[in-house]
């Protein structure tokens, strides 16, 4: 362990327990809007805390503590905290919490961790270099052949031909050839076919489990068919459709396979005529795309009364916030008290830091069956919670259907989905998926502005058309400059 590491450990051991402040990440972004972690998201609570869920500050958080409420045994109220955090951040800007030679502010703006001595700000950027006219390759300018090769490999699954490369290099408008290649690639089986790139992008959201799959290729205990989920995912990401249908679709998508895989909207008569092992029982008006699919409830809600896992998976998959990492803790207003309807101890102060966000996020999911239940798996049942009342959770049926998402009140899950689908967080999370897929990693500090512009355009200029967004993504410096 390095001396800095030993010092850090000592400081951490001595640090007093500290309550995580859910408003803090958003406030940090107000002070440092160009921080990479603020690109369509907010920093993890681990920016200041030792680790997710642990109410102990790291070395950077401890520096803030020292100037913010040094010697004060009383934990500040949220109001005091909000009022004082900016000054506290500014006052430790020029310190070096992890003693790695880079100041806190340098690390924040560069996207490195001010509490990790092994994480340093990156190398010089194009703005810092000169003499490019002498380079064999200008690593600060888009390179047509380089970009074409990446587009073809990323989206088509193979390299271009030598002739293609020569043609794009000498073309008067190489961009036209590159974008034509992208259009062609977006229609390949490699991209949109069964098990193609889009399917792979959906795996983490759907989390398939063949043992309980129903329908084609059913497992030993067939409960629901995740093919519906993959079909809807690909359908919403292709052919200029509105990607918000991920959360808004009230239709079911089918698929035919052959030389090319085709996805199509099923009529309600077609979908309801399917076998009971795969049929969607949820009434059309209670559906909200991927987060009300039969598979989603069977796989996440299972036998739970208040389906926190289900809500957390929806939040993680479609809004980019992992509550397990203390991300996206946007609480309802203070007037909305946290109630422990299912007797799980969530009002304990240590737990409440997350549950003040998670529980109201989960309530709208509570009227949908998990495995089994009245009407079948995934069906909507307004009185569902009555079946869960017993001596261990006598008040669970008092759990409201109304809840909160992103700080906004919602009456039910359909409204939850509408708020989510129209949020900046949804646009940013969707674009982030593709950025990471194509660029290879999250935006760097110097790419934050381009990333924010891209997801802003996705929600406006592109009308949530993923393919239109991808055409702009491959033109970014992050993708097209060697």
Residues that bind other proteins (CB under 8 A): 122-126, 129, 131-132, 135-141, 143-146, 149-150, 153, 157-162, 165-166, 169-170, 174, 190, 199-200, 203-204, 207-210, 439-441, 444, 446-447, 478, 481-482
* Smallest separation (angstroms) from other proteins to the CB of 143: 7
* Smallest separation (angstroms) from other proteins to the CB of 314: 17
* Smallest separation (angstroms) from other proteins to the CB of 203: 4
Task: Give the nearer residue to other proteins in terms of CB position, either 150 or 367.
Answer: 150
Task: Give the nearer residue to other proteins in terms of CB position, either 55 or 140.
Answer: 140
Distance between CA atoms of 192 and 194, rounded to whole angstroms?
7
Distance between CA atoms of 21 and 16, rounded to whole angstroms?
15
* Smallest separation (angstroms) from other proteins to the CB of 57: 28
* Smallest separation (angstroms) from other proteins to the CB of 248: 25
* Smallest separation (angstroms) from other proteins to the CB of 391: 37
* Smallest separation (angstroms) from other proteins to the CB of 266: 23
Measured between alpha carbons, how far apart are the two ends of the chain, in Å?
36
At 218, give phi and psi (nearest 5°): -65, 150
Three-state secondary structure string covering 110-178: HCCCCCCCCCCCCCCCHHHCCCHHHCCCCCCCCCHHHHHHHHHHHHHCCCCCHHHHHHHHHCCCHHHHH
* Smallest separation (angstroms) from other proteins to the CB of 156: 9
* Smallest separation (angstroms) from other proteins to the CB of 406: 26
Task: Give the nearer residue to other proteins in terms of CB position, either 313 or 423.
Answer: 313
Task: Give the nearer residue to other proteins in terms of CB position, either 2 or 129.
Answer: 129
Task: Give the nearer residue to other proteins in terms of CB position, either 200 or 343.
Answer: 200
* Smallest separation (angstroms) from other proteins to the CB of 181: 14
Task: Give the nearer residue to other proteins in terms of CB position, either 170 or 260.
Answer: 170
Task: Give the nearer residue to other proteins in terms of CB position, either 232 or 419.
Answer: 232
Task: Give the nearer residue to other proteins in terms of CB position, either 422 or 444.
Answer: 444
Q: In terms of DSSP bridges, do strands 408-410 and 49-51 run parallel, antiparallel, or are they unpaired?
A: unpaired
Q: In terms of DSSP bridges, do strands 54-57 and 408-410 run parallel, antiparallel, or are they unpaired?
A: unpaired
Task: Give the nearer residue to other proteins in terms of CB position, either 143 or 342.
Answer: 143
Task: Give the nearer residue to other proteins in terms of CB position, either 198 or 414.
Answer: 198
* Smallest separation (angstroms) from other proteins to the CB of 89: 27
* Smallest separation (angstroms) from other proteins to the CB of 328: 21
* Smallest separation (angstroms) from other proteins to the CB of 200: 6
Task: Give the nearer residue to other proteins in terms of CB position, either 182 or 417.
Answer: 182
Task: Give the nearer residue to other proteins in terms of CB position, either 96 or 116.
Answer: 116
- What six digits make up the tokens of 228? 């519906």
Task: Give the nearer residue to other proteins in terms of CB position, either 59 or 246.
Answer: 246
Three-state secondary structure string covering the chain: CCHHHHHHHHHHHHCCECCCCCCHHHHHHHHCCCCHHHCCCCCCHHHCEEECCEEEECHHHHHHHHHHCCCCCCCCCHHHHHHHHHHHHHHCCCCCCCCCCCCHHHHHHHCCCCCCCCCCCCCCCHHHCCCHHHCCCCCCCCCHHHHHHHHHHHHHCCCCCHHHHHHHHHCCCHHHHHHHHHHHHCCCHHHHCCCCHHHHHHHHHHCCCHHHECCCCCCCCCCECCHHHHHHHHHHHCCCCECCHHHHCCCEEEEECCCCCEEEEECHHHHHCCCCCCCCCCCHHHCCHHHHCHHHHHHHCCCCCCCHHHHHHHHHHHHCCCHHHCCCCCCCCCCCCCCCCCCCCCCCHHHHHHHHHHHHHHHHHCCECCCCCCCCCCCECCCHHHHHCCCCCCCHHHCCCCEEECCEEECCHHHHHHHHHCCHHHHHHHHHHHHHHHHCCCCCHHHHHHHHHHHHHHHCCCCCEHHHHHHHHCCCHHHHCC
């Amino acid at each position: 362990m390095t001396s800095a590491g030993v010092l850090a450990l000592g400081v951490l051991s001595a640090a007093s327990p500290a309550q995580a402040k859910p408003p803090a990440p958003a406030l940090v972004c107000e002070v440092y809007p160009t921080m990479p972690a603020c690109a369509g998201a907010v920093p993890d609570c681990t920016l200041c805390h030792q680790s997710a869920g642990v109410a102990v500050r790291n070395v950077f958080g401890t520096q803030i503590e020292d100037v913010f409420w040094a010697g004060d045994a009383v934990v500040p109220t949220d109001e005091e905290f909000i009022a004082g955090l900016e000054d506290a951040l500014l006052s430790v800007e020029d310190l070096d919490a992890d003693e790695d030679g880079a100041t806190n502010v340098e690390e924040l703006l560069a996207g490195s961790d001010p509490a990790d001595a092994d994480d340093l700000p990156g190398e010089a950027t194009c703005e810092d270099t000169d003499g490019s006219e002498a380079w064999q390759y200008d690593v600060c300018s888009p390179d047509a052949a380089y970009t074409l090769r990446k587009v073809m490999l990323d989206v088509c699954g193979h390299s271009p031909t030598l002739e293609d490369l020569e043609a794009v290099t000498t073309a008067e408008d190489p961009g036209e050839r590159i974008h034509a290649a992208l259009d062609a690639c977006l229609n390949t089986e490699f991209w949109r076919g069964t098990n193609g790139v889009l399917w792979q992008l959906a795996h983490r959201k759907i989390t398939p489990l063949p043992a309980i799959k129903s329908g084609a290729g059913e497992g030993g205990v067939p409960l629901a068919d995740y093919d519906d989920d993959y079909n809807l995912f690909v359908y919403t990401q292709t052919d200029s459709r509105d990607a918000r249908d991920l959360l808004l679709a009230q239709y079911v998508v089918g698929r035919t396979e052959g030389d090319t895989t085709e996805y199509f909207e099923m009529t309600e008569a077609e979908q309801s005529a399917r076998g009971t092992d795969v049929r969607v029982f949820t009434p059309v008006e209670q559906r909200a795309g991927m987060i009300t699919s039969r598979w989603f409830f069977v796989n996440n809600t299972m036998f739970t009364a208040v389906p926190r896992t289900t809500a957390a998976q929806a939040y993680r998959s479609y809004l980019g916030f992992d509550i397990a990492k203390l991300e996206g803790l946007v609480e309802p207003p203070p007037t909305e008290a946290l109630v422990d309807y299912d007797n799980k101890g969530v009002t304990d102060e240590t737990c409440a830091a997350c549950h003040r966000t998670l529980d109201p996020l989960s309530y709208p999911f509570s009227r949908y069956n998990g495995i089994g239940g009245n009407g079948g798996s995934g069906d909507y049942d307004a009185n569902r919670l009555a079946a869960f009342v017993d001596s261990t959770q006598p008040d669970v049926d008092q759990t409201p259907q109304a809840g909160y998402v992103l700080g906004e009140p919602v009456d039910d899950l359909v409204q939850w989905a509408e708020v989510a689908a129209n949020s900046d967080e949804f646009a940013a999370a969707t674009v982030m998926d593709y950025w990471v897929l194509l660029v290879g990693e999250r935006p760097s500090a110097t790419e934050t502005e381009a990333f924010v512009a891209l997801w802003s355009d996705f929600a406006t200029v592109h009308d949530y058309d993923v393919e239109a967004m991808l055409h702009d993504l491959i033109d970014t410096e992050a993708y097209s400059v060697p």
